[in-house]
Amino acid sequence: MKKKISFVIILLIISSFATVYSQEVTLDYKWMNIGNVRAWIPNNGGFWNMNIYDNPSLINVEYPIGSLIEHVGEGGLWVGAITPDNDTLVTVTSSWNPWGQGEFMPPTSEPWDTIWVVNKNDTVDIPYWENYVGKADRDFVFRYNDYNDYSMRDSKHNPLYLDVVEIVHNWSAPDVLANIKLYEYFITPTQFDLTQVYLSEWVDPNVGTRDVDFAGMLSDDYSEYDKELHMGMGLDKPGSVDGDCNYPVGFKIFPPDNVSPSSLFWTFKWGDSSNPPGITPNSDRKKYEQLMAARTIMEDQQSATGAHFIISFGPMSVAKGDTLHFYVAMILGEGKESLIETAKALVKIKQNDFNVPGPPPNPSIVSDTDDGEVTISWYPTEENNPELYFDKNRADGDTLPFEGYRIYKSTNSINGPWKLLAEYDIIDGKAEDIGLEYEYNDYGLLNNVEYYYSVTAFSKEDKSLNWPALETSIGDNAVLVVPGTAPPEKVGKVAVVPNPYRGDVDYNSYSPPWEKPPASRSFWMEQDRRIQFINLPLKCEIKIYTASGRLVETIRHNTEGTSIGYHDWNLTSSVGQAVSSGIYLFTVEDKVNNDTQIGKFVIIK
């Protein structure tokens, strides 16, 4: 989603507010759904939205997908250095201090100064990166700096005049890659040479289920560090308000290849709401000396009072116009040991510059519906043919490794859980040898109920590299389909389902669920109640009355240009009150021919 804003923005910094003003800039964010981690990426270098963007979900980093388990509250890049005038300056993306919040921002208001989405092997001409070729299954490319109009709004901010290009790499498989987001940074000073440069990731892990008490969720976390892997971790203590959340988050840094490891000093410091790096020092010099260049590795946090840490490395020198290039991997998994295993595997993959075999592209899906029936088709086209995808990174020499398609279904949400319906593969003696198909018919469905389908493509194994068969992301190619009959040409057969509606029935437990919360919430609430008016003409007005004739609600149904002949009502009146038990009357007026139908239904709570 993208929007261009001329802002008065309110930044929420712990419990205080600061109103700021700026020229127009292009703000953008994307949800990264490739792989096993769903994460937010804004185009300012942070891991969270900094309350500037309209976040459609409370969650910044969700793993496993669909679990509502959060992992990161805040975080982002810090750069500190000494200037030719011997000034100690630090630019931060995010911190627990009103001064130094959002010092990196997109540089211009140009529409292309947004987030570019590039699939594997696709070539895109980005204004600041000609002929960029996608490396991972999906790359997110953007830039920012610390001297744009927004960054310079604060008189206390002294910029390092840095240009930063950031690429976030996403893979769909295997788990070693599907469980990470790889952040690649290119940092270039534009005004003067910099010495004693330190680069840092400042992170506030919040590990736990997001739909419980938020303060309780984040107060039982703690920080640990793996010295050999240069990886900080945020972990959840079992048994608190968020239960046993054994899904920690790790941040592993890969320093620049052209810098000798023996010349680098590392810092890992954790803090809380009263000590840095929790409450961030309020001057550049203190940030630099107390945190970034401290050259201190703290012992692992013993008391679970909240995870909050900074990882820093340096010193380095970089001349004006030269670039520091390094990576940070955000790693998710089940248990601390899984993070360590993934980090070790990434060290080996890094030796090939993270170039690995990839899955085929997503096939294009077309859906058709009928009475209790859905047909899903995915015929290859000249523009999109997964069967002809080329993979130069395979070790077995098979550069056309397409193997087949899989069809999935979920009755719950676009995030799953998914049920495999069918698999079709080419006849080559390497898999099931079923043969390829391009349509799947699903029968016996409930009309006017949401179903989710996905079709993926998968490759052959690369036995020379000991690499598994790779499959495109299920959720990334999912579509919502609602079976049902076409709307009638005129009113007359409108009905209400269920009738009677019973408050003692758990409609949320049905499969598919008749009532369900939105994707951002895992538990049912009163506003999720649902009855449905069916067999509606395309354009009509529904009025609902009590048995005594009092108007409860008016619903205007206008679905011209579609094939939708139903409308849901959440049993709430026009003034937002939940209705009570009783007999209710309804009228449906056809707005095309002015015919009216009268009916009734019963609510029992």
pLDDT at 582 over 70: yes
Give pLDDT tens digits for 262-283: 999 999 999 977 788 888 888 9
**Residue 421 and residue 408 in contact, taking contact as beta carbons nearer than 8 Å:** yes
368: how many CB neighbours lie within 10 A of its CB?
13
The domains found in the chain, sorted by start residue, are: 2-350 (2.70.98), 366-481 (2.60.40.10), 495-604 (2.60.40.4070)
pLDDT at 342 over 90: yes
Dihedral angle computed from the Cα positions of residues 572, 521, 452 and 431, in that order, rounded to the nearest 10 degrees: -170
- Give the pLDDT confidence score for residue 511 in this predicted structure: 87
Mean pLDDT is highest, among 235-244, 430-439, 493-502, for 493-502
What sign does the CA torsion over 111, 112, 114, 119 have? positive
Percent of the chain residues topping a pLDDT of 70 = 91
pLDDT at 7 over 80: no
Span of 146-160, 165-179, 187-201, 340-354 with lowest mean pLDDT: 146-160
Provide the 3-class DSSP secondary structure of residue 506: coil
Provide the 3-class DSSP secondary structure of residue 344: helix
Under the banding of pLDDT at 50, 70 and 90, the label for residue 205 is very high
Q: In what order do the strands lie in the sheet with 539-546?
A: 501-502, 596-604, 582-590, 539-546, 551-558
Angle 224-226-229 (CA atoms, 0-180°, nearest 5)?
145
What sign does the CA torsion over 514, 520, 524, 529 have? negative
481 CB-near residues (< 8 Å, 6+ apart) = 367, 369, 374, 376, 450, 451, 452, 453
91 CB-near residues (< 8 Å, 6+ apart) = 78, 79, 80, 103, 104, 146, 157, 159, 160, 162
Give dist(CA 303, CA 41) in Å, integer: 31
pLDDT at 54 over 70: no
- Distances from the Cα of 308 to the Cα of 71, 97, 274, angstroms: 12, 14, 11
- Distances from the Cα of 264 to the Cα of 171, 223, 259, angstroms: 30, 23, 8
Q: What's the whole-number average pLDDT of the chain?
A: 89
Under the banding of pLDDT at 50, 70 and 90, the label for residue 561 is confident
For 286-301, what is the mean pLDDT? 96
- Give the pLDDT confidence score for residue 6 in this predicted structure: 30
Give dist(CA 377, CA 366) in Å, integer: 5
- Give the pLDDT confidence score for residue 312 in this predicted structure: 98
CA atoms within 13 A on the CB side of 545: 12
The DSSP letter of residue 289 is I
The DSSP letter of residue 469 is -
In DSSP terms, which residues pair with 533 in a beta bridge?
Answer: 496, 567
135: how many CB neighbours lie within 10 A of its CB?
21
Residues counted in the chain: 605
476: left (phi over 0), alpha (psi -120 to 50) or beta: alpha
Terminal-to-terminal C-alpha distance of the chain: 40
Give dist(CA 309, CA 206) in Å, integer: 12
Angle 177-179-184 (CA atoms, 0-180°, nearest 5)?
60
Give dist(CA 479, CA 374) in Å, integer: 12
Give dist(CA 510, CA 239) in Å, integer: 30
Burial class, 191, CB count within 10 angstroms (exposed 0-12 / middle 13-18 / buried 19+): middle
Token pair, residue 401, equals 């490794």
**Residue 586 and residue 552 in contact, taking contact as beta carbons nearer than 8 Å:** no
Work out whether strand 596-604 and strand 501-502 pair parallel, antiparallel, or are unpaired. parallel
Element (H, E) at 598: strand 596-604
Under the banding of pLDDT at 50, 70 and 90, the label for residue 211 is low
For 81, phi then psi, to 5°, come to -165, 170
Give dist(CA 51, CA 18) in Å, integer: 12
Give dist(CA 209, CA 70) in Å, integer: 6
For 512-522, what is the mean pLDDT? 82
Give dist(CA 556, CA 591) in Å, integer: 10
246 CB-near residues (< 8 Å, 6+ apart) = 236, 238, 334, 335
For 554-573, what is the mean pLDDT? 91
Q: Which amino acid is at 526?
A: E
292 CB-near residues (< 8 Å, 6+ apart) = 78, 80, 90, 198, 200, 267, 310, 312, 314
Token pair, residue 545, equals 């009355």
